[in-house]
Amino acid sequence: MSQKKDIKIIVFKGGEKIQLFTYTNEYRSLMELLSDKLYLENFGECKGMGRCCTCLIKINSKSHKVNDFEGNELATLKKHNFNNLNDRLSCQIIIDQNLKLIEIEL
């Protein structure tokens, strides 16, 4: 039985607005969803280890609470001079109900 895709994620990419639909735990991370649906070149090169910074996204929605920084994420962002709290590594973001209607930018 397939699960209802009740989480809509709005992605802005190069002036284009794309809507993606998923459900909790369909993918291990937001990076995997974006890679699977958008076929992004050179995206997610370290396969979710939080070290390469190629899966960088910007969260445009101010009202959404995604999971906190964990593991290598903050150190990797700082190393690449991303100091804005809205800049996140999509490989470190868990897909759950908190992402409903979130707007992100690639």
> Which parts of this chain interact with ligand FES (CB under 6 A)?
31, 44-46, 48-55, 76, 89, 91
CA 91/CA 34 separation, integer angstroms: 10
Q: Minimum distance from CB of 53 to ligand FES (Å)?
A: 5
**DSSP sequence for 3-72:** PP--EEEEEEETTEEEEEEE-TTSSSSHHHHHHHHH--TT-STTTTSS-S-TTEEEE--SS--PPPP-TT
31, 44 in Cβ contact below 8 A? Answer: yes
Complex with ligand FES: residue 7 or 93, whichever CB lies closer: 93
Question: What's the closest the beta carbon of residue 6 comes to ligand FES, in angstroms?
Answer: 25
Q: Rounded to the nearest whole angstrom, what is the least distance from the CB of residue 27 to ligand FES in the complex? A: 13
Closer to ligand FES at the Cβ: 31 or 59? Answer: 31
Q: Which residue, judged by CB position, is nearest to ligand FES in the bound state?
A: 91
